[in-house]
Amino acid sequence: MTESTFWSSDMSSSLVDFLLNSFKAQQDKTTTLIQITCTVVAIVLLWLLHYVLFKPLNRIRDLCDTGYQDQMRWDRYGKTKRQLANEARRNKKVGDVPPVYPNGWFALCESDDLKAGQVLSIKALDENLAVFRTEDGQVCVLDAYCPHLGAHLGIGGRVVNDCIECPFHGWQFSGHDGKCTSIPYSKGKIPPSAQVKKWPCHEVNGFVFFWYHAEEEKSLEPEWTVPELDVISSGRWQYRGRTEYQVNVHIQEIPENGADVAHLAHLHGPSMLGGSDLTSIDRKKSDGESMPILHHHWQVGWKGPEHGDADWHVAVTTIKHDLRLFGRIPFILMDVEAKQIGPGLVHLTIGTSLGRCVLLQTVTPIAPFTQRVLHRLYASPTVVAPYAKLILWGEAIQFERDVAVWNHKTYIRHPVIVSEDRTISKHRRWFQQFYSENSPRIETIMENRKGSLDW
């Protein structure tokens, strides 16, 4: 063997070793990469599974989030969504509206928002309120302004036993009657006028409500109560999520939607998968020539109380719903009974093929044309979480279509209607009972605010 042949064979074996090692290193790298990818995918899938199966839905939409897609589309000046929404709000003609704050129970917050010993500052129906929970769990609602020098009790106030202590000089006010119980630096008698208004309140079905009435003598004694739903208070039905909205409309328009049976087919017929952008939802009719793939089908009725009925403050909308594939094959069947309980609360009992759910809707005016609307869904154990959340999500999309209309519409006191719209007139007559002589009117509120429309 010559020397050159020896060197050559040695070199080729080194080269093979080198290639083999490189290949192995590459293989190891690929394996590590695959392992990392698989771990990431598994974590994402587990998170998704956890989200779908266990985490309640929480959908929050601010005043400018719904119904302004057209403004965004046509804007040539790079304005923000908030600017465009505010512009649309200012340009909107409110119309010849009824009083802006009806009488009844209104939700101030959800029970989870208020821990023992916590104080919240809440504005509702033009009232500034200090809402607090005593250490033993009782909720109290007082006027926010301290009669001493006017500090806001809800901002920096402290719960002391069943009282709230003012953050300014430490005067304490009882949550039971609003009377001052202590002036820490005074040895004299507590002046009898050292008192704040105490509002009737009621914590039920996961909400804290307060009773509002424009007539002084009726503001202390509620005329009816918010019914307790045993399936919620007993904990038998599971909480599956919530949605929260701010809507730019007069409060009466929201319950009127339940009596407006004709809008369902037109506005809520197109599939929920199309979202809530009114310009782009598929308006094809299932009875038309071009059949949509998915279409909601509704059968609706509205009924107010009979004359002399004890539940004069309750009206009922009944709905039969199914989602149709190619206009023929029905699925997601639901029977809904929506009880409108006064101006600010609806209990919707939803019968589905898997079991029953209840959706609670509260509407609270935080300013004359700004409504805070909350929904909370509870489902019986047979309604699996993903299905319950699908129902809530679908309801949210449909509700957002209404919001998109409400945010721009005006109120017409004498609408041009046809005989099929008669339940709207009935609803308006029924709703009249929630206004009284001193119910605040927009003109008076504007005068007090020197005509400012900035709420």
Q: Please name which of 370, 373, 324, 369 lies closest in space to residue 346, comparing C-alpha atoms.
A: 373
CA 226, distance to chain mean position in Å, is 18
Binding of ligand FES by 168 (CB under 6 A): yes
Nearest distance, CB of residue 399 and ligand FES, angstroms: 41
**Residue 223 is which amino acid?**
E
Q: DSSP per residue over 174-216, as a string?
A: ETTT-BEEE-TT--SPPPTT-B--EE-EEEETTEEEEEE-SSG
Tell the smallest beta-carbon distance from residue 193 to ligand FES (Å): 14
d(Cα 324, Cα 332) in Å, to the nearest integer? 8
Nearest distance, CB of residue 167 and ligand FES, angstroms: 7
Sign of CA dihedral 263, 264, 269, 272: positive
Stretch that binds ligand FES, among 55-63, 146-154, 308-316, 414-422 (CB under 6 A): 146-154
The alpha carbon dihedral of 53, 54, 56, 58 has a sign of negative
Type and span of the H or E element at 403:
helix 385-406
Q: Which of 52, 72, 94, 151 binds ligand FES (CB under 6 A)?
A: 151
Give residues in contact with Fe ion (CB under 5 A).
Answer: 257, 402
Q: How far is the CB of 121 from ligand FES (least distance, A)?
A: 14
Q: Closer to Fe ion by CB, 133 or 321: give it.
A: 321
Backbone angles phi, psi at 199, to 5 degrees: -95, 140
168-176, 247-255, 287-295, 317-325 -> range binding ligand FES (CB under 6 A): 168-176
**Partner from Fe ion, ligand FES, none binding residue 169, C-beta < 5-8 Å depending on class:** ligand FES
Shortest-Cβ-distance residue relative to Fe ion: 402
Residue 330 and residue 422: Cα distance in Å, rounded? 29
348 binds ligand FES (CB under 6 A): no
> Which residues neighbour 158 within 8 Å (Cβ) at sequence distance 6 or greater?
119, 164, 165, 167
Q: Which of ligand FES, Fe ion, none is residue 40 near (CB under 5 to 8 Å by kind)?
A: none
Q: Which is nearer to ligand FES, 98 or 157 (CB)?
A: 157
Pick from 92, 152, 158, 169 the residue near ligand FES by CB under 6 A. Answer: 169
Smallest distance, Å, CB 168 to ligand FES?
A: 4
Nearer to ligand FES, 146 or 373 (CB): 146
Measured from the Cβ of residue 414, the count of other Cβ atoms closer than 10 Å reads: 6
How near is the Cβ of 184 to ligand FES at its closest, in Å? 9
Decide: is 171 part of the binding site for ligand FES (CB under 6 A).
yes
Other Cβ atoms less than 10 A from the Cβ of 301: the count is 12
Spatial distance between the Cα atoms of 219 and 436, rounded to a whole number of angstroms: 12
Among 129, 166, 208, 267, interactor with ligand FES by CB under 6 A: 166
> Interface with ligand FES by CB under 6 A: which range of 66-74, 162-170, 328-336, 430-438?
162-170
Name the minimum Å distance from CB 48 to Fe ion: 31
Dihedral sign (CA 300, 423, 402, 100):
negative
Which stretch, 76-84, 148-156, 290-298, 320-328, contacts ligand FES (CB under 6 A)?
A: 148-156
Q: What is the DSSP letter of 82?
A: H
Residues 6+ apart with CB under 8 A from 314: 305, 339, 340, 341, 342
Q: Which of residues 84-103 bind ligand FES (CB under 6 A)?
A: none
> β-pairing, 104-110 with 207-212?
antiparallel
Q: Residue 400 binds what, of Fe ion, ligand FES, none (CB under 5 to 8 Å, by partner type)?
A: none
- We find the least distance from the C-beta atom of residue 80 to ligand FES, in angstroms, to be 38
Q: Is 146 in the site for ligand FES (CB under 6 A)?
A: yes
Decide: is 182 part of the binding site for ligand FES (CB under 6 A).
no
Binding site for ligand FES (CB under 6 A): 146, 148-151, 166, 168-169, 171
